[in-house]
Amino acid sequence: MGTPDFAVPTLQILIENKFPVVAVITAPDKPAGRGLKVTQSPVKEYAVMQGIRVLQPTNLKAPYFLEELRSYQANLQIIVAFRMLPEVVWNMPELGTFNIHGSLLPQYRGAAPINWAIINGETQTGVTSFFLRHQIDTGDIILQDKIAITEADDFGTMYEKLKYMGAKLALTTVKAIAADVITTQPQPMAGELKEAPKIFKETCQINWEKPAVQIRNLIRGLSPYPTAWTTLEGKVLKIYKADVVNVNTPAAPGTFQSDGKSYLHVITADGTLNLLDIQLEGKKRMLVEEFLRGYRFMK
């Protein structure tokens, strides 16, 4: 069960290792893009190529869906980036249902674990396989795999790394379940638990009253999507990449400064950010040097 491209490597690795995938459950086709062309999910596209039966229920509790799901007699269900399941679904297989989550649980439970780990300045994250239970992302842990978050990483790079790590962890988990050699452990509850709620447009708006490092982490955690943003002379400015620079200028946070050709700085609460990769409303994404060649600041 999965929808975005993050889930495709897991399906692929199971098929390549000769595990009998009897069906795939994914989101219904929906209009996308400027032309609103009806589009299949990446998981459906791959499953169709492999000749696997695809189910696309709108209601996971619908009797017709549950009847068809039971007809496949699957003894294990695997979830990667899918909807929240009702108990009647996740409790159906004899061996249970496990999920691959893009964090080291119990930290960063929720819809956007990769984003929030970077936004919060973490230096390590990973993937977790765990059995589903009633409360979201709270089930017993089966396995985990860790990876460093480097200063050069953003959401895009970590997404790519973790989707393949998750696939390998899923394969290891399935093999352990098939061999009946798994050991699970409850999620530890000691200490502060950081959440990973869904990200909205207002989450992405930059508050220049915050420290430069925090703002840079926000930009990294939202790049390339959904992208941190601010306004420049009344227009939305998306920022994909920025670095902290040692330039001390007596100006209010949120003040833009530029020589008009090589740099575009913004003052923060405790320093300066050098914008490197941006997109102004109505324009294409470009490096700052290219942007400055065609932009004239209002006086």
- Residue whose C-alpha is closest to residue 59's, from 90, 100, 28: 28
- CATH class of residue range 201-294: alpha beta
pLDDT, residue 249, reads 78
pLDDT-based confidence at residue 37 (cuts at 50, 70, 90): confident
Check whether 298 has a pLDDT greater than 80. no
pLDDT at 236 > cutoff 80? yes
Q: Is residue 266's pLDDT more than 90?
A: yes
pLDDT at residue 36 in the model = 81
For 190-228, write each residue's pLDDT tens digit: 789 999 999 999 999 999 999 999 999 999 999 999 999
Q: What is the enclosing helix (H) or strand (E) of 213?
A: helix 212-221
Given strand 97-101, what is the order of strands in its sheet? 77-80, 97-101, 124-131, 141-148
Task: List Cβ neighbours of 245 (8 Å cut-off, separation of 6 or more).
Answer: 265, 271, 272, 273, 274
Q: Which CATH number applies to 5-178?
A: 3.40.50.170
Q: What are the pLDDT digits (tens) for 155-189?
A: 999 999 999 999 999 999 999 999 999 999 999 98
pLDDT at 284 over 70: yes
What pLDDT is recorded for position 38?
87
Q: Provide the residue ranges of all domains of the chain, joining segments of one domain with +.
A: 5-178, 201-294
**Residue 244: pLDDT over 70:** yes
User: What pLDDT is attached to residue 32?
Assistant: 79
Percent of the chain at pLDDT > 90 equals 91
Output the pLDDT for position 115.
98
Q: Is the CB of residue 112 less than 8 Å from the CB of residue 195?
A: no
Residue 299 has pLDDT above 80, yes or no: no
One-letter amino acid at 90 equals: W
> Which tops the pLDDT comparison, 239 or 134?
239
Residue 247 confidence class, pLDDT cut points 50, 70, 90: confident
The pLDDT assigned to 74 comes to 97
Mean pLDDT of 116-143: 96
- pLDDT tens for each residue of 100-115: 999 999 999 999 999 9
Handedness of CA 285, 8, 83, 36 (dihedral sign): positive
Residue 240's pLDDT band (cuts 50, 70, 90): very high
- pLDDT tier at 54, thresholds 50, 70, 90: very high
